[in-house]
């Protein structure tokens, strides 16, 4: 049976072929690859996210080599997706926890969360903005930059409850990534970059 990484690699391959063959679609337009998230060239993680990022980097190089005008959007975390679980990656999409929450390693790395409607609005504006031609757009507001520990503290103040925090050491996290099924394995490997290794603050702010 095919794995999720097989589908990811196939998607990248099909995109490469499309770019090489069908310039009639992109010659007069600005290509907006479906990246979003972090800057794929400034991340430090493991598979399966590493393979996903490598495919996207390859597409960037192809886009640039083919002379196709483009804009890369790095919006960081989707707030309404990530924050429902108060940043608990093991429960993305679930309701806010009532008593227990999982934190990866020490929980001190800063991440950025942007509301999806704002991501869409800024992306639409950027597409026709001459300042973004062949550039990277970062959505990295300082007010939206928080650590997992800070998120938990804010929710504790709001609810008047204290959570029981289960911390996952990095060695255990790497083992869990290797053993978990999709989609948890890719969520955890993406979070290794953002919530553990702190890759977001190292990215420029525009």
Kindly list the catalytic residues.
56
Query: Of 198, 47, 49, 36, whose CA–CA distance to 110 is shortest?
Result: 198
Query: Of 165, 37, 45, 51, whose CA–CA distance to 103 is shortest?
Result: 165
Distance in angstroms (rounded) separating the CA atoms of residues 163 and 37: 28
DSSP labels for 68-85?
A: --BEEEE--EEHHHHTTT
Distance in angstroms (rounded) separating the CA atoms of residues 111 and 154: 15
* 101, containing H or E segment: strand 100-104
Long-range contacts of 82-85 (CB under 8 A, 24+ apart): 82/113, 83/113, 83/151
Distance in angstroms (rounded) separating the CA atoms of residues 204 and 108: 20
Given a contact cutoff of 8 angstroms between Cβ atoms, the answer to whether 153 and 165 are in contact is: no
């Amino acid at each position: 049976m095919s794995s999720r990484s097989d589908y990811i690699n196939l998607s990248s391959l099909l995109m490469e072929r499309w770019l090489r063959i069908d310039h009639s679609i992109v010659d007069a337009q600005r290509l907006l690859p479906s990246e979003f998230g972090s800057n794929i060239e400034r991340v430090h993680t493991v598979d399966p996210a590493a393979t996903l990022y490598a495919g996207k980097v390859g597409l960037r190089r192809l886009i640039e080599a083919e002379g196709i005008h483009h804009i890369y959007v790095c919006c960081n975390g989707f707030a309404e997706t990530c924050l429902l679980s108060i940043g608990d990656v093991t429960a993305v999409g679930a309701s806010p926890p009532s008593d227990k929450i999982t934190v990866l390693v020490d929980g001190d790395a800063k991440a950025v969360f942007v509301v999806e409607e704002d991501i869409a609005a800024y992306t639409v504006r950027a597409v026709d903005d001459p300042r973004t031609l062949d550039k990277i757009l970062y959505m990295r507001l300082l007010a939206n930059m928080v650590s997992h520990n800070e998120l938990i503290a804010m929710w504790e103040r709001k609810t008047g409850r204290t959570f029981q925090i289960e911390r996952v050491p990095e060695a255990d996290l790497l083992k869990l990534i290797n053993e978990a099924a999709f989609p948890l394995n890719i969520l955890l490997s993406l979070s290794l970059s953002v919530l553990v290794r702190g890759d977001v603050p190292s990215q420029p702010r525009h």
